[in-house]
Amino acid sequence: MFTDNAKNRNRNRNRSTLACRNGIVCASQPLAAMAGVDILKAGGSAIDAAVCANAMLSLVEPMSCGPGGDLFAIVWSAKKGRLLGLNASGRAPLDWSLSRADDLGLREIPARSPLAWSVPGCVSGWQALLDSLGKMSIGRILQAPIEYARNGFPVSPIIAADWPFDPERHPTMVATFMPGGKAPQFGDVFRNPDLARTFEIIAGGGAEAFYLGGIAERIVRFSQEQGGFFSMRDFAAHEIEWTDPVSAGYRGYDVWELPPNGQGIAALQMLNLLEHFDVASLGPDSAERLHLFIEAKKLAYEDRAVYYADMKFSDVPLEWLISKEYAAERAKLIDPKRAAQNVRPGEPADESDTIYLTAADSEGNMVSLIQSIYHGWGSHYAPAGLGFCLQNRGQGFSLDPNHRNRLEPGKRPFHTIIPAFVTKGGRPVFSFGVMGGDHQPQGHVQVLMNIIDFGMDPQQAGEQPRVHHSGSSDPAGRRAEGGGIVAFESGIPDAVRLRLACMGHRIQDGDRAFGGYQGIWREDDPLRYFGGTDPRKDGCAAGF
């Protein structure tokens, strides 16, 4: 029934922007958005709604997110009148080190293995958000996810297409995610009673029940069985970090991202470079505009490969990287007519599948939240009886002992997941994000160009066809070769692709889909919200 996945992925992109006043949730699956709106209607805050939607997505989109992954958020607190940043990413096991990796003969950390595990930060992030900014208990928040996990839900089409995995290669996942020996298809009812029981434990005891209780004990036993390095002290030592977001101005707006260990500042670096060019005069799908964007990406990502790392372990020249002065020098390297083939990082003077959601409430609180287990199905390991997979975020460490992002015990790996926010004149105007691994900074910049340079509304900005550049150096130590490859979504004319090829870009044949976007634009006097959500995903914007 309705199993033509190609038609689902290439369907018309013609959703309307949702406009409402009292509250809104934008998520990549409708049941998650609706669960969040139910929380708002019951008197909860945008933060309560976001946590509920994230928990629901752990059930309905399990290959992308869940308690086995990490979480980041940027929140506009109406009461405090400012932005708050939350880093709820986990750290490498204390018994996992470069010397042990060397003993195993590794040159890089294998993605689908227990060696890629880092402590899951998601549940600690939920608890921190609720304790600091919520109105409801975690037990109330998890009611709907528990009921749906126990009673089941029909699987939606895009998620069904992403579900299949090889049961022989990944046997620990089969009991939970392949009931009856096969992956559920679109419309099949899927139940996850193990996740319901896990959520019930968290509902009763909060994050402490996850990190200091039976859940952590089961993960550690599973790690010992599978050859991982987790111990109970890893979970006991885990803690979240409230951090100040950092910003760059772009044509009168302030764009905010979280500082490393994530890659958010790559978007700020790209915007700083693009501000030196008259983008609006070029047209959204022109070869000249796309060329400038690609060249800015190449420059920013070479810095990303060298400098981005856990700032508690490494010297990251943050202020220099996002400074206008540095951008002015690097912008001189962009040839408006020719693609660069050999891009290097700058030198300071002294020297992954994901879900994104956003919510807002009638009091003016807004939250930009992203959560992930990294690759699709994370590490492809699911501890028995818990109902979720463990992330493989530790695969992002470099095994080069001289790299800032080198593996160290208790260190946070480089992260791809990044929430974003935009303010103007000190007031909140746009909460948004674009999931999709390395694509995320590229997606952020393309959405912002669509809105700020080309005047699109939040829905149009997400529907506009995207391009994706790959082949840059990365923080795990792999180096770029040549100028990389540019891939396209349907809707980019052949003439534009040919023009980019003539400018020296290496073009990938065919069409693909990149990222998954949600965004909420805010207008005041009176307060109104305008929500957009990505047709590349199953989700929707819901509000009242």
Q: How many angstroms separate the CA atoms of 342 and 321, rounded?
A: 20
The structure tokens 């309560």 sit at: 48
pLDDT at 343: 80
Q: What are the tens digits of pLDDT across the range 220-269?
A: 999 999 999 999 999 999 999 999 999 999 999 999 999 999 999 999 99
Averaged confidence pLDDT in the chain: 94
Q: How many angstroms separate the CA atoms of 538 and 9, rounded?
A: 10
Asked whether the predicted pLDDT for residue 355 surpasses 60, the reply is: yes
DSSP letter string, 133-149 = H-SS-HHHHTHHHHHHH
Written as one letter, the residue type at 176 is T
Q: 277 Cβ partners below 8 Å, 6+ apart?
A: 292, 331, 334, 336
For 390, the 3-state DSSP assignment is coil
Q: What does the pLDDT average to over 168-179?
A: 96
DSSP letter string, 229-262 = ---HHHHHH---EEE--EEEEETTEEEEEPPTTB
pLDDT at 123: 98
Check if CATH label 1.10.246.130 holds for domain 243-352+417-515.
yes
pLDDT at 54: 98
- Phi (first) and psi of residue 470, to 5 degrees: -125, 165
- Active-site residue flag, 423: no
Q: What are the tens digits of pLDDT across the range 176-224?
A: 999 888 999 999 999 999 999 999 999 999 999 999 999 999 999 999 9
For the sheet containing 516-523, what is the strand order?
A: 18-20, 528-533, 516-523, 427-435, 420-424, 253-257, 246-250
Q: 489 Cβ partners below 8 Å, 6+ apart?
A: 465, 466, 467, 511, 512, 513, 514
Written as one letter, the residue type at 14 is N
Q: How many angstroms separate the CA atoms of 314 and 405, rounded?
A: 8
Three-state DSSP string of 78-119:
CCCCEEEEEEECCCCCCCCCHHHHHHCCCCCCCCCCHHHCCC
Q: What are the tens digits of pLDDT across the range 394-426?
A: 999 999 999 999 999 999 999 999 999 999 999
pLDDT at 181: 87
* β-strands 253-257, 82-88 pairing: unpaired
Contact 133, 127 (CB under 8 A): no
Contact 327, 250 (CB under 8 A): no
Q: How many angstroms separate the CA atoms of 339 and 337, rounded?
A: 7
* 193-211 helix and 46-60 helix, angle to the nearest 10 degrees: 130
Asked whether the predicted pLDDT for residue 1 surpasses 50, the reply is: no
Q: What are the tens digits of pLDDT across the range 83-125?
A: 999 999 999 999 999 999 999 999 999 999 999 999 999 999 9
Q: What does the pLDDT average to over 48-69?
A: 98
Burial, 332: exposed, middle or buried (Cβ in 10 Å; 0-12, 13-18, 19+)? exposed
Residues of the chain with CATH 1.10.246.130: 243-352+417-515
Taking Cα atoms as reference points, which of 90, 8, 85 lies closest to residue 391? 90
Residues in the chain: 544
Angle at 25 between CA 79 and CA 458, to 5 degrees: 100
* Residue ranges of E strands in 332-461: 354-361, 366-372, 420-424, 427-435
For 382, the 3-state DSSP assignment is coil
Angle at 302 between CA 298 and CA 308, to 5 degrees: 130
Active-site residue (options: 198, 354, 423, 533)? 354
The structure tokens 């202020």 sit at: 319
The structure tokens 């809105």 sit at: 451
